[in-house]
Amino acid sequence: MSVPEHRRIFGEHLRELRRDRGWGSQESFAHHVGMDRTYVSGLERGRRNPTLDVIVKLARGLEVTPADLLAPITSTS
């Protein structure tokens, strides 16, 4: 399965923000935001396509805005 570029970029940025904010494991972060670890893993690998509700939940858990979470995605991504 080919991963769309914008989802790959989103996932890499999510992983980077998670780690930068001290959430070393996907499991602990997933618990913090009320999601399953496998779902967070799928997001970080670009395999899952998050809804707006999920983006907001992730942003709150990372203490960033939803726009910050989406910032690396450009119109050409």
> Structurally, what CATH architecture does the domain formed by 5-70 represent?
Orthogonal Bundle (1.10)
Q: What is the mean pLDDT of the chain?
A: 95
| Average pLDDT, integer, range 17-34 | 97
Predicted pLDDT at 74:
85
Among the listed residues 10, 9, 7, the one whose alpha carbon sits nearest the alpha carbon of residue 62: 10
pLDDT tens profile 34-65: 999 999 999 999 999 999 999 999 999 999 99
pTM: predicted TM-score of the whole model, two decimal places: 0.93
Task: Give percent above pLDDT 70 in the chain.
Answer: 96
Q: Which residue blocks in the chain are alpha helix, DSSP H?
A: 5-20, 26-33, 37-44, 52-62, 66-70
